[in-house]
Amino acid sequence: MSHDPYVFAAMAVLILFALYRRFRSVFGRQPLKPGKLKSRIAILAVVAVLFGLRALHSPAMLGSGIAGLAAGAAFAWWGLKLTRFDVMPGGIFYTPNAYLGAALGAVLIGRIVYRFVALYPALQTAKTETGSAFAGYTSSPLTFALFALVIGYYIVYCAGLISRANTLAGTPEARDVASPPSAP
């Protein structure tokens, strides 16, 4: 009995849950938590290194990965310019540009759906020939570039948020919010 349908169903549920959480965080004001952002940067950097090691065997994959990271960094810079920051009594908050986040997510989701739906027969053929259903899935330079774009975007965007938090923490508004009012 093949467990492939169950594996794909479990992956689909996990991917949908991750996408729901990601899209929920793209819309609306969020508290700026540098510790959480640093953790995200570290995790994404490890993923980027692992993807980079995977790409070393192919100049096309390596080139698409580098191009994706560069495009992601450019989008992050643009996204930081469009992000609104607020210093409030509860701390520093930011509101990311919903259109840019939604567009990046839609491009990545569209590519993943295309690879799973349109190329499912090829995945099954790859499984019978190589023993791995993912042998054909991971060899697309375009898909690799899109993953690199998203990784590059979030690494640079999170680093920019941390930098902006450090800048805003030194402003008079942030100091006034952080210190309790003095008694008369």
Using pLDDT thresholds of 50, 70 and 90, give the confidence band for residue 180: very low
Q: What's the pLDDT tens digit per position in 40-91?
A: 999 999 989 988 888 888 889 899 999 999 999 999 999 999 999 998 888 8
Length reported for the chain: 184
Mean pLDDT within 9-16 = 71
CA distance linking residue 125 with residue 145, whole number of Å: 24
99-134: pLDDT as tens digits: 887 888 788 777 777 777 777 666 666 556 555 444
Nearest residue to 51 via CA among 134, 144, 181, 122: 144
- 135 pLDDT higher than 60: no
- Coil, helix or strand for 135? coil
Q: In whole angstroms, what separates CA 41 from the centre of its chain?
A: 10
pLDDT of residue 19: 67
Measure CA 102 to chain center: 12
Answer yes or no: pTM beyond 0.85: no
Cα separation of the two ends of the chain: 78
Percent of the chain whose pLDDT exceeds 70: 70
